[in-house]
Structure 1
Amino acid sequence: MTASPDPGTEPIPAPDATDIWVTGMAWTTALGSGLDEVWTALLEGRTGIGPARTEHRLRNTDAAVLAGLPMSMSPVQRQQALTRDTVAAAVRDAGLDLADPRLRPVLGTSYGPHMDVDTGVDVDMDTGAATDTDSLGVRRLDRWAVDAVRALGMVKDPLSVTTACSSGSDSLLVAMELIRSGAEDICVCGGADILTAAKRLGHSVLETMSPTSLRAFDTRHDGTILGEGAAFVVLESGRSARARHARAHGFLVGAGSANDAVSPAAPDASGESVVRAVTRALRAANRGAADVDVINAHGSGTPANDAVEALGYTRLFGAGPAAGRPTVFATKGAFGHTLGATGAIEAITVLLALRDGAVPPVHGLTRVRPDFALPVPVGGPAAFTGRLGLSTTLGFGGFNTCLVFEGATPEPTTPEALPPDPAPPRQAAREVPPEGAGMVAVGHGRAVRDELTVVRSRIPSLYADPLAWLVADAVEDALSGCADDVLAVREDVATILVSAECTLRTMEAVARSVPSGRVSPLRFAGASPGSAGSLVCLLHGFKGPSLTFSTTPEAGLSAAHTVARSWLRSGAASYVVLCAHEEPEGRRHLVQCSILAPHTRAASADRG
């Protein structure tokens, strides 16, 4: 294998106080693309949801469709055009040039265009066996991101993140860690997702699609309505931003995540995962629940998700009088559920809310469910005071992420572009590890298969992609010598998978079933690329932070190590289970796994 998940004994850098500026942002939504244009429409209570043409029988034919992105274009063309236009707008807003060699793209999506195109793999629907064909040959799920970045003339290759509906949020989380570690100075990050027949069919058969309308937190809520869109922000180290006198839209001061570890699609009904994600994010920001002034909730409108958020927020912020507790708003009733883009879109809404001290009404909400304890605007915008806001997302595969933003000063300076610096100086303090703070592997494992075929689940009513089961085998092998220690703290065990294929075979199977209008709900849930890495969370009860990079190990392992170090150093995780899937030569697939721990924990275990 050309790249290993084992970092050896790499040091964990000392905790870094680098501030992360948001110096650029842009979005493309069903309500438009101008920042103030769309924000005004939200405050006025408008929606971009309406009738959308379909050839299939669905629970609801409404959707939030983008103007100016014709459905006559192929899914791949639409995904790339949407990404290119929105990334370019965000970089322009930051006063930077797309060819600036300091810019690292970190791009997220959920299913992207991959369930509606021939990926070049023939799949037997009964056995799952795959054979190569001479068709399009798309064997990497980051191809859309790579092609979009190259078309823009950007210098650095992208990192592709796929954690279902948390993909946009997790792209910001990854970018934040890269900047804080000193690996990058500037990242353009966020998510893009298009509306496709497969996604509409899948949510219809899963019955997560509303048969009426999207009414988040309403007593009549009965599901979500899909949309499409993109949003990207430019995150920049304070050192770089100050040097070029950049404007700040706000600051990303913390991020945290947690896995449900209960189901490929359903959330943890206890609300515990929402609490864990928010708590980890606030801890990373060195803030407490009492500091939070406003929250953009996931607000998907499904009874299960709304109930989970209601429970989680009540536990975090209490159920007393509204005064002194954060105001909650949600925007999917206006934008539709944009899946992998939603976290980035909602991050921008938090920054605009902090700028203006106001939040838009929740479209479709007229009667707030009685168990929702926090103040939420009904029928019109609501004012609030304060400078700290949260954005929370819940995704298939149990991916829950929370971002913490602080508002900017009222009168930011005008951006001033500087000449690109091909070799920006690193801060030496970041490279000096504290004594005894190394990151070491306490377990190693591997799993090999000549062909990826369907594995019969030991869990009733569960389907997972063949690669997910191969990852699970590698993790079992790695746990063989350290299972007692790791499983004793399973709620703080994090997981990271790096694979350019993820659930490619299952997505191909879904794609072949779309023309008939018959999509398996289990296959659709199991096709979410992030689930290739999150199956191990479900099998072992790992509830720590979790990430899936849909890129090659050569491209993604350095970033994965950076994130793992941060999680271990900060205490967000006690162990990190890091797996890398080698691109196959022929049909031979190899997954290698390292179980990482802080040097201090490993040394303590040795003494015990």
Structure 2
Amino acid sequence: MSPHRVVITGLGVTAANALSADKLAQALLNRRSGIRRAAPFDIEGRTYSAGVVDLPGETPDNGLDRVSKLALHAAEQALRDSGLEAQGNWREVAGVMLGTSRGPALSLEQVIRSGGDEDARRRHFGEVPFSSIARNVADRFGLGGILSTVTMACVSSSLAMGRALDEIRQGRASVMLAGGADALTLLSFSGFSVLRAMTPTVCRPFDHRRNGMVLGEGAGILVLEELNHARQRGARIHAELCGWGTAGDAHHPTSPHPEGRGLQQAMTLALRQAGLTTEQIDFVNLHGTGTPANDPAECQALRGVFGARAAALPVNSLKPYFGHTLGASGALELIGSVLGMARDFLPPTLNCEELDPKCDVDVVRGEGRAQRIDTLMSTKSAFGGANVALVTRRFPETGRAAR
């Protein structure tokens, strides 16, 4: 039996520059970043820029960790966008597959700092397990299907989407909420500060002056559905999620393999599962952290898979719009890419002005690019050498994506 096809019927966004998918689309069209000078944590007296989310009506302490609040906002947006709320008995079988890097680290920090305050410890302790994020989303919306939290550093939400895709393809689920969330925490801020991975200026992916990342927080959640399930209820379909791949570098705890070995394998596997060739990919959304080692390694991986075509294959990074959201980055950046595909628009890579010769690929810069995209790939990489690639195509199938 052929695998079931999987489509995207709902998009939910919580980001520094947008609190819905429609607002994110406008931010990308208008090149509007949500990154601002901020000092959410005092790290050796230094001040950094960050992508800080202003959640509407947020209560400072209602028992939920901030990462769950970010995820719940995005999940509510995704479900509303999908139109499922007006349908029948879908909740009892709908699953939740969410990725996170730092998880509820703020609650853990609160527990550690609570000292002898037993009330404070009890209030935050239930949020400390990473499983609390998916649990809180499932509980809020009454979702009784597959329930899982995935964590693998910065590819966490990409892994979650890939695994949710597999669950539906193999007939184990018809509806999945998939994506991820991460909040700004002292753990991440201090850790990347010690590694000197954060820029004191601006994030400039692929630019020869790049000197580090900007951290952000947020959540991206998609409603994934089996195609016939979506058709039967007359759902609006944003795109088809048609393949994914993951592979490791086996190289270094923090640095990527110089030739992007694992990323090449992940892209190749994603193409194979999607049943597509490199000629059918119109655009690639890269990880693009703006760090010295990441960007050239990604470009090298791109050349390894696409050969000479890599020089003319449009690519971008969306991190200058809302920061590196760690475990949420895969979902947020896939959503941003799908929104661009629907509008025949390639968002530019902000702050990339003088291309590094080591990144001699077709980086979309400046005003962005009006271009029809039928099939796109989104790639993410992580500390520890993890890599994920996801392939998405326009729906209904048209042009090259239909072949």
Q: Indicate whether the TM-score tops 0.5.
A: yes
Q: How many Å apart are 1:376 and its aligned residue?
A: 1.6
Give the TM-score taking structure 2 as reference length: 0.89
Aligned residue for 2:92?
Answer: 101
The separation in 1 between residues aligned to 2:45 and 2:252, in whole angstroms, is 24
Contact 1:60/1:210 (CA < 8 Å) preserved in 2?
no
Aligned residue for 2:386?
Answer: 399
Instruction: Describe the SS at the equivalent of 1:52.
Output: strand
Aligned residue for 2:35?
Answer: 49
Aligned runs of 1:136-151 on 2, under 5 Å?
A: 136=125, 140-151=129-140
Aligned residue for 2:315?
Answer: 328
Q: Deviations over 1:424-474 (max 9, x none)?
A: xxxxxxxxxxxxxxxxxxxxxxxxxxxxxxxxxxxxxxxxxxxxxxxxxxx
1:111 aligns with 2:102: yes
The separation in 2 between residues aligned to 1:208 and 1:291, in whole angstroms, is 35
Instruction: Describe the SS at the equivalent of 1:165.
Output: coil
CA distance 1:291–1:119, change in 2 (3 Å): same
Aligned residue for 1:577?
Answer: none
The separation in 1 between residues aligned to 2:310 and 2:273, in whole angstroms, is 28
The separation in 1 between residues aligned to 2:296 and 2:76, in whole angstroms, is 38
Contact 1:146/1:157 (CA < 8 Å) preserved in 2?
no
The separation in 2 between residues aligned to 1:166 and 1:366, in whole angstroms, is 27
Q: Deviations over 1:451-508 (max 9, x none)?
A: xxxxxxxxxxxxxxxxxxxxxxxxxxxxxxxxxxxxxxxxxxxxxxxxxxxxxxxxxx
CA distance 1:72–1:101, change in 2 (3 Å): closer
The separation in 1 between residues aligned to 2:378 and 2:309, in whole angstroms, is 22
Q: How many Å apart are 1:134 and its aligned residue?
A: 12
1:300 aligns with 2:286: no
Aligned residue for 2:156?
Answer: 167
Unmatched runs of 5 consecutive residues or more in structure 1: 1-14, 123-132, 412-608
Aligned residue for 1:387?
Answer: 374
The separation in 2 between residues aligned to 1:97 and 1:74, in whole angstroms, is 25
Q: Which amino acid counterpart does residue 223 of structure 2 have in structure 1? A: V
Q: Which amino acid counterpart does residue 255 of structure 1 have in structure 2? A: W
CA distance 1:83–1:139, change in 2 (3 Å): closer
Q: How many Å apart are 1:57 and its aligned residue?
A: 2.3
Count of residues paired in the alignment: 386
Aligned residue for 1:374?
Answer: 361
Q: Deviations over 1:503-544 (max 9, x none)?
A: xxxxxxxxxxxxxxxxxxxxxxxxxxxxxxxxxxxxxxxxxx
1:356 aligns with 2:343: yes
CA distance 1:73–1:294, change in 2 (3 Å): farther
The separation in 1 between residues aligned to 2:221 and 2:309, in whole angstroms, is 36
Q: Deviations over 1:205-254 (max 9, x none)?
A: 01111122100000001110000111111111112111112111000010
Unmatched runs of 5 consecutive residues or more in structure 2: 114-121, 399-403
CA distance 1:301–1:134, change in 2 (3 Å): closer
The separation in 1 between residues aligned to 2:4 and 2:308, in whole angstroms, is 35
Aligned residue for 2:147?
Answer: 158
1:189 alignment partner, one of 166, 178, 193: 178
Aligned residue for 2:21?
Answer: 35
The separation in 1 between residues aligned to 2:331 and 2:343, in whole angstroms, is 19
Instruction: Describe the SS at the equivalent of 1:151.
Output: helix
1:218 aligns with 2:207: yes
Percent identical:
34
Contact 1:256/1:402 (CA < 8 Å) preserved in 2?
yes
Aligned residue for 1:530?
Answer: none
Contact 2:91/2:142 (CA < 8 Å) preserved in 1?
no
Q: CA RMSD in A?
A: 2.6
The separation in 2 between residues aligned to 1:170 and 1:19, in whole angstroms, is 18
Contact 1:394/1:400 (CA < 8 Å) preserved in 2?
yes
Q: Which amino acid counterpart does residue 345 of structure 1 have in structure 2? A: L
2:230 alignment partner, one of 231, 241, 245: 241
Q: Deviations over 1:524-577 (max 9, x none)?
A: xxxxxxxxxxxxxxxxxxxxxxxxxxxxxxxxxxxxxxxxxxxxxxxxxxxxxx
Q: Deviations over 1:326-352 (max 9, x none)?
A: 211111011100001100011112211
The separation in 1 between residues aligned to 2:384 and 2:45, in whole angstroms, is 24
CA distance 1:321–1:102, change in 2 (3 Å): closer
Contact 2:104/2:128 (CA < 8 Å) preserved in 1?
no
Q: Which amino acid counterpart does residue 109 of structure 1 have in structure 2? A: T
1:21 aligns with 2:10: no
CA distance 1:383–1:119, change in 2 (3 Å): same
1:262 aligns with 2:251: yes
Aligned runs of 1:497-512 on 2, under 5 Å?
A: none
Aligned residue for 1:82?
Answer: 70
CA distance 1:195–1:246, change in 2 (3 Å): same
Q: Deviations over 1:141-190 (max 9, x none)?
A: 21232133213332336211111111111111010100011111110100
Q: Which amino acid counterpart does residue 155 of structure 2 have in structure 1? A: S
Contact 1:81/1:148 (CA < 8 Å) preserved in 2?
no
The separation in 2 between residues aligned to 1:208 and 1:75, in whole angstroms, is 32
Instruction: Describe the SS at the equivalent of 1:241.
Output: helix
CA distance 1:71–1:339, change in 2 (3 Å): farther
Instruction: Describe the SS at the equivalent of 1:303.
Output: coil
CA distance 1:138–1:77, change in 2 (3 Å): closer
Instruction: Describe the SS at the equivalent of 2:293.
Output: helix
CA distance 1:139–1:38, change in 2 (3 Å): closer
Instruction: Describe the SS at the equivalent of 2:372.
Output: coil
